[in-house]
């Protein structure tokens, strides 16, 4: 399973979902999907915006966790 670590990065910077949505232009509902790990894909444009906001590399935002079930998309 691929784990999207948006919540972890937001916690480090003490940013709310609304603050991230305002800073990136990504819909708050989409931020919530990333936060809870309820998405099957991450948009490259979103990844770019997250990297700019958190001043990080894409590998800092995603990780592979072997043996974990794949998350189900809710939207």
Structure confidence by residue, pLDDT tens digits, 14-65: 999 999 999 999 999 999 999 998 888 899 999 999 999 999 999 999 999 8
Residue 75 lies in a domain: no
Whole domain around residue 18: which residue ranges? 2-64
Check which CATH number belongs to the domain holding 33 and give it: 1.10.260.40
Task: Give, in order, the Cα–Cα distances in Å from 65 to each of 3, 13, 20, 49, 70.
Answer: 7, 24, 25, 24, 10
pTM metric for this prediction: 0.83
Task: Give, in order, the Cα–Cα distances in Å from 2 to each of 23, 30, 50, 61.
Answer: 25, 17, 17, 10
Residue 70 lies in a domain: no
Residue 36 lies in a domain: yes
33's tokens: 């999907």
Residue 72 lies in a domain: no
pLDDT band at 69 (very low <50, low <70, confident <90, very high): low
pLDDT at 58: 96
Task: Locate all alpha helices (DSSP H) within 14-65, ordered by sequence.
Answer: 17-24, 28-36, 44-54, 58-61
pLDDT at 75: 47
State how many domains the chain has.
1
Residue 24 lies in a domain: yes
Higher pLDDT, 40 or 9: 9
């Amino acid at each position: 399973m691929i784990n999207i670590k948006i919540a972890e990065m937001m916690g480090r910077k003490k940013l709310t979902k609304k603050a991230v949505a305002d800073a990136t232009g990504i819909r708050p509902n989409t931020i919530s999907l990333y936060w809870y790990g309820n998405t099957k894909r991450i948009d490259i444009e979103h990844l770019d915006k997250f990297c700019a906001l958190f001043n990080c590399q894409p590998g800092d935002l995603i990780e592979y966790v072997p043996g974990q079930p794949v998350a189900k998309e809710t939207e």
